[in-house]
Chain A
Amino acid sequence: MNLEVILRAGLSTGTILIFAAIGEIFAERSGVMNLGVEGMMLIGAMAAFKVSYVTQNAWLGLLAGILAGGILSLAHGLVVISLQADQTVSGLSLTFLGTGLALVIGEGLTGLNTPTIPTVTLPLLSKIPFIGLIFFTDFNLLVYVGYLLIPLSWYFIFKTRPGMHLRAVGEKPSAADSLGISVYGTRYLYTFIGGCLAGLAGATISIAISPGWYSNLTTSGQGWIAIALVIFARWNPYTAALGGYFFGMLRRFTLDLQGPAMILGLRNPFFYDHNLVFFLQMVPFALTIVALVWGSGAARRNRRGTPAALGIPYVRGERGL
């Protein structure tokens, strides 16, 4: 067990959660809750893997993964924005739909090898003592994209004009409408962006960080953890990123905990009774529940962060938000 290894593994696998969570932050900031993240990630992972395999080009695969997630999210957009259906149920059904589509189209991909997104060491930055070695050496390119996306998305949401429009639509759509901002257009756009980022998160699994197609085990619930992170993070990209990296580290930590026979001079129970590992595997899911309870508590104390119109369809001319 090595702190450096755990930290680096966290930065690497945490990237998956960060893409998905930031995508969901965009969608929810516009007032559209999309619980279909797991399905969009899975279809993104499958499309990226399949296209990468067929074309033997990982970049085309990446593009396909992003678009697949985005296109699927438009189905959700159509149902909840235009047809004003219940967002939670529609999001849930999107997960089923995405999973089913991914399983059918991804039939026969298991066990194949594809080209992957390259691993790179950043020049200059990697030369910084200690930090360079941990943060900027030998990571998949997408990990660095994650580094950039966090501050950029924060800046976009809170400091730019389109970001302000986005928040306005999620807080008070009727006011945004009266200022000439297209509520439907904005919601479609950010639902699509959220879907693209979820697709990217899936592609990050299948053709970058842990390459391969393992049917619905590819994502194994990470889409849901990402949604929980969004609530826990109060719709803020920085906090979501911290949570994402933390979950990444936790995953590695629970793996490493099974290795040594002794920990801090004590017999390691996980080494001697291998079945106890099942309890370690529960930890991320249990912790997600804890994070949710925490996030909901914060939500009751102050409503800051929660988009006021989240989950509420907008109908022009009707009373409401």
Chain B
Amino acid sequence: MKFPYKIKFESRTNDVPKWLPLATSLGAVVVAFIISGIVLWLIGGNPFQVYRYFFTASFGSWGAFSDILVKATPLILIGLGCSVAFKMNILNIGAEGQFYIGAFFASMVVLVPIIPLDSPKWLVLTLMALMGILGGALYGFIPGFLKAVFNVNEIITTLMLNYIAIFWNNYWIFGKYSDAGFQMTPTFDKVAWLPRLADLAKDYPFFSGITLHLGVVFGLVAAVLIWVILKRSRWGYEIALIGDNPKAANYAGINIKKNIILVMMLSGALAGLAGMSEVTGVVHRLQERISTNYGFSGVIVAWLAKLNPFAVIPVAILFGALIVAGREIQPSGLSFMIQGTILFLVISSDVFLRYKVRIVRTHQEEMA
């Protein structure tokens, strides 16, 4: 006897309802937590306890919440950069490397130093930000150029460049700029520190110990900027058209190769700025492991936000929470597993956006 029900996929003929992308993203997050909980339980952990701890470690106090925003800052910038590239179907997985090179370029401003360290703070920081942007953009140019000219798969080149960037940074922090043989540079002069809320503690005691720094403003401004580019500019229209239908874009006279390079550079520039914000706002020196896989989390943030610049912000905050909690809970790979599961489910759930999934009786199928 045949099973009387069958899952049927019907192509959507009308537009996707507005609420559906949000619902699938939320669903993916919830199901990812459930699946990860089951895996935890299978290997002998107590998921309820872990998740409760997870929540208090991340949202339990203002200090903890500020830590989340600090972690979310690079994720917002990188997530925005990935969104722009993904919109055009350019899979830039190299944010990690672009982040490191951006951090390196920015650090050179004070390490070489490029300008005298008694210059005004705003000038030093502006120059560092510009250098971070430049470093990331240059490092994004390489895979963009290889893709545009030789049609080389950008996923693999950007990944390989990630490894290369980390070795490059190591060369400098273990060697020329090492702080007395440690694998880090000396702490930057205060002039190169991004302002923090804690700096205001003298006047407003509430802010004492709050580590949130100006970098988060970079993230918010960038979100508006990227939204304007994508939704309100001619360039954004070109990006979307190339992503949707490269052939049509070609016929319309859009220069695809130039756009590939430019978009990779913009994507890299945002990651580079994230690197600058991290060294000037958080660690105040160049060192190993300044990124806790921000480059990869940024990829997931962009997908989960469905490439919407404003949605990137709350999603980045969620992932910031995952990272903050991940530092404290065992097993330490859990936050990574949840992130991986979320991405996988987001991809799978796209089927709901493309098809109407219905369960039908088999005999109906035969009559039809």
Q: Which residues of A approach B to under 8 Å, CB–CB?
A: 35, 39, 75, 78-79, 83-86, 88-90, 92-108, 215, 221, 224, 227-228, 231, 273, 275-276, 278-279, 281-282, 285-286, 288-289, 292-293, 296-297, 299-300
Contact = CB atoms under 8 A, between A and B. Distances in A.
A258 to B, nearest CB: 14
B87 to A, nearest CB: 13
Q: Tell me which of B160, B161, B168, B354 has the highest count of chain A C-beta atoms within 10 A of its own C-beta.
A: B160
B344 A94 contact: yes
A103 B175 contact: no
A97 B336 CA distance: 8
A289 B157 contact: yes
Contacts of B155: 35, 88, 92
Contacts of B299: 92
Contact of B338 (A92, A100, A105, A276): A100
A286 B348 contact: no
A103 B157 contact: no
B62 interface: no
Q: Majority SS of interface residues in chain A?
A: helix
B146 interface: yes
Interface residues of B, number: 48
B341 A97 contact: yes
A293 B343 CA distance: 29
Contact of A286 (B43, B146, B164, B351): B164
A85 B351 contact: yes
Closest 4 CB pairs of A and B: A103-B333, A100-B337, A96-B340, A107-B331
A276 to B, nearest CB: 7
A305 to B, nearest CB: 15
B170 interface: yes
B250 interface: no
Contacts of B93: 92
Given A96-B300, A297-B150, A107 B347 contact: no
Contacts of B341: 97, 100
Contact of A85 (B151, B157, B174, B350): B350
Contacts of B348: 78-79, 83, 85, 90
10 contacts: A75-B344, A79-B347, A83-B350, A96-B344, A98-B340, A107-B333, A279-B171, A289-B146, A289-B157, A292-B156
Contact of B330 (A79, A107, A296): A107
Contacts of A275: 170-171, 174-175
Interface string B134-162: 00000000000010001111011101110
Contact of B339 (A92, A100, A228, A285): A100
Given A79-B348, A296-B152, A96 B343 contact: yes
B170 A278 contact: yes
B337 A103 contact: yes
B303 interface: yes
Contacts of B332: 103, 107
B167 interface: yes
A96 B339 contact: yes
A90 B344 contact: yes
Interface in B11-33: none
Contact of B156 (A228, A282, A299): A228
A251 to B, nearest CB: 13
B193 to A, nearest CB: 28
Interface in B312-352: 330-334, 336-341, 343-344, 346-348, 350-351
A113 B36 CA distance: 28
B206 interface: no
Given A106-B333, A293-B152, 18 more contacts: A83-B348, A83-B350, A85-B347, A89-B91, A92-B155, A93-B300, A97-B337, A97-B343, A100-B333, A100-B337, A103-B332, A103-B337, A104-B40, A107-B332, A224-B159, A286-B160, A286-B164, A300-B151
A273 B210 CA distance: 42
Contacts of A221: 159-160, 163
A186 B108 CA distance: 54
A278 B334 CA distance: 31
A273 B175 contact: yes
A35 B156 CA distance: 9
B296 interface: yes
A81 to B, nearest CB: 12
Nearest to A318: B11
A23 to B, nearest CB: 17
B39 interface: yes
Contacts of B150: 293, 296-297
A231 B350 contact: no
A182 to B, nearest CB: 18
Contacts of A281: 167
Contacts of A85: 347-348, 350-351
B40 A278 contact: no
A275 B176 CA distance: 9
Contacts of B300: 93, 96
A79 B146 CA distance: 29
B296 A88 contact: no
A103 B331 contact: yes
A99 B168 CA distance: 25
B124 to A, nearest CB: 28
A99 B340 contact: yes
A292 B332 CA distance: 35
Contacts of A89: 91, 303, 347
